[in-house]
Structure 1
């Protein structure tokens, strides 16, 4: 390989970002999106691969705090903006960037690295496992009703300006972050992300809209959505395209879903992001007619086994020895004894016999509680050496609420 990896010089950002743009299809980001990503880029955590004066590879990281089971916010590198120029494939550039990046993450003391993958098959070999799942659905509102809880009529709904309501929505988001694994605390500047609404990505929908749910003058929930009008010979057949529904209590959430399912001149609600245990499934009167599907959301990589497993709590007592295989981050390899419960945990190296054998990829997939160890074992990706250890660990690693990442990065 003749390329050189360098920390991104802010003066080279435009050239660096052009490589990324081309790798993702060559369609330039709208000016407001480009400005946001420029402002959010942590150049000191970003890498460029250079072939002479030509940038041929990009990789970045955001300094995140990620909610884990138990509610702790754990430092995590948000891996982002990864690309390799088509002219320089199969030269080891991606591997060299992943190697350098994980070394830097470890040096920074961050026990986790996370990413969203445009091509999921790429990142398994670097130890990333699918740790959260996102659900998509289309509710046929002509045939599906809602059964809402008592008190729903007591929630006031108000159409609000998208930008003007941002602070109130961010406050709701921040209060929900500790309650669900996989959510990321949004630092300064990230409040601009939900406001991005390029016309080129609307696919015929209206500009993004916002409705606030209020009780006693306090904002207790919100939805961001758009309307996609459509007319057939029989009349109006539009869709409500839901970007997000977040609320502080079940009644406020039900009020928002009832509103979305009753917008005039529409016959369907298209949900673009929901946790797999989303409340809407239990509000609708016929889930079969909601065409639900899911796919991976957040991919997680354990960078420091001991620190990562000690950072979360466990929903049942656990005492198990893992034999971790990790060729890409060999400092993780070996046996680790995890003991813990709902109050805390300890994870230290041990010479004791292993109970379970797995790779860092499987450990990352199970870490947030969204991918059961028993499911991974059924696929041959976790091996049980002590009878009963698999069920014990799988139950302990679970989460009472499904992990979910509400937005990309």
Structure 2
């Protein structure tokens, strides 16, 4: 138990691990922090099932919950394909009645201490308000793409072999095993992807409350097959519409995965060609997908990009040694970390595409940066050179910045496949 000192006048709060009999009250407090809109019963039940009680915290003022935070246990793909233990920070909220009393800071403090004790070198999150988490050492490490594609005017060129892929409809709930097998094969190929180690996570992609459809159809699914093997799938909804000139329907993509370029192209082409529709709405996709280079008119895709993953190195040495580097690197990093001081100091990182080591050193530093910048660069999607141009990384040895920036990069953009 931790007592949270108040930053302003008012009662202190008690911070403790969540108990199963407290979940309903705890979750109601979380929902109120996010506007108080009730969730559908099936969604609430799923998050209840996914709760890992020994990893979730509640802050209490008497018999009232005033703060919530949790950390799912994940395995996260890092550059090189290794799945690294990571804490998926989630459900962070503070009651509006208890703002500016140190509740959030105390939860972040306790949580990162716990993550370190659990031996997990990384913590990751998605931020409802990006300005909050930088002070706790989280850096924006990946971005997601959105598009509203005018499929009536944008055509798609596809690679050889696309016509060899057979598509068939399936009920989403009937083909979960086949879809999860495709997903699992893709997890090692892209930094940021999460291994779904609990069956309940498979159902996140199947959530389909009527209240969330905004007039669109129930969730639909199409499988891509070749030689009797499932090589991809797409889950989507269709929202029909009619204007003065005729149909004006929209396809709303929820998920799409393909094991190879032809499977992916077959699924994208299918979504383009659905009858009575002229717009394909795409959200939360990788920024380097092939379809971006297959469309006839990129301007009519109305692209936008926004932040996605935030990464925090809880153990700098273990985290940097867990990934590989796309070019040889031997660099001494001077790391500042005011919130987790065990990370502060000099670290020698030596590595290449086969592996790496990262150990304490007293040698002169080559680069100086905070743990926040290390988090931003960790998955290979944010160049250290860009952070240096922003004044957030200092080069202390000539040539060290370019060497490290190239090494930290990834040939495939990092991406979070689903929220948590």
- TM-score tier after normalising by the smaller chain length: over 0.9
> What is the alpha-carbon distance in structure 1 between the residues aligned to residue 151 and residue 346 of structure 2?
53
Q: Which residue of 2 aligns with 1:386?
A: 397
Task: Identify the match of residue 46 of structure 1 among 56, 67, 76.
Answer: 56
Contact 1:131–1:300, Cα closer than 8 Å, also in 2: yes
Consecutive unaligned residues in structure 2, runs of 5 or more: 1-5, 7-11
1:175 and 2:185 are equivalent in the alignment: yes
SS at match of 1:224: strand
Q: How does 1:61-210 map to 2 (within 5 A)?
A: 61-188=71-198, 189-210=200-221
> What is the alpha-carbon distance in structure 1 between the residues aligned to residue 228 and residue 203 of structure 2?
25
Deviations 1:148-186 (A, max 9, x none): 111111100001101001111111000000000000001
Q: Which residue of 1 aligns with 2:65?
A: 55
Q: CA deviation at 1:204?
A: 2.0
Contact 1:370–1:402, Cα closer than 8 Å, also in 2: yes
1:19 and 2:53 are equivalent in the alignment: no
1:330 and 2:331 are equivalent in the alignment: no
Q: CA deviation at 1:324?
A: 0.4
Contact 1:166–1:191, Cα closer than 8 Å, also in 2: yes
Q: CA deviation at 1:28?
A: 1.1
Q: CA deviation at 1:273?
A: 2.1
Q: CA deviation at 1:272?
A: 1.3
Deviations 1:174-216 (A, max 9, x none): 0000000000001221001001112222222111111100001
> What is the alpha-carbon distance in structure 2 between the residues aligned to residue 281 and residue 287 of structure 1?
7
Task: Identify the match of residue 358 of structure 1 among 360, 369, 394.
Answer: 369
> What is the alpha-carbon distance in structure 1 between the residues aligned to residue 107 and residue 415 of structure 2?
27
SS at match of 2:173: coil
Consecutive unaligned residues in structure 1, runs of 5 or more: none
Aligned length: 409
Contact 1:244–1:273, Cα closer than 8 Å, also in 2: no
> What is the alpha-carbon distance in structure 1 between the residues aligned to residue 304 and residue 215 of structure 2?
23
Contact 1:244–1:272, Cα closer than 8 Å, also in 2: no
SS at match of 1:177: helix
SS at match of 2:406: helix
> What is the alpha-carbon distance in structure 2 between the residues aligned to residue 135 and residue 258 of structure 1?
19
Q: CA deviation at 1:94?
A: 0.1
1:348 and 2:359 are equivalent in the alignment: yes
Deviations 1:62-100 (A, max 9, x none): 000000000000000000000000000000000000000
Q: How does 1:264-303 map to 2 (within 5 A)?
A: 264-303=275-314
Q: Which residue of 1 aligns with 2:245?
A: 234
SS at match of 2:112: helix
> What is the alpha-carbon distance in structure 2 between the residues aligned to residue 269 and residue 279 of structure 1?
16
1:309 and 2:334 are equivalent in the alignment: no
Q: CA deviation at 1:29?
A: 1.1
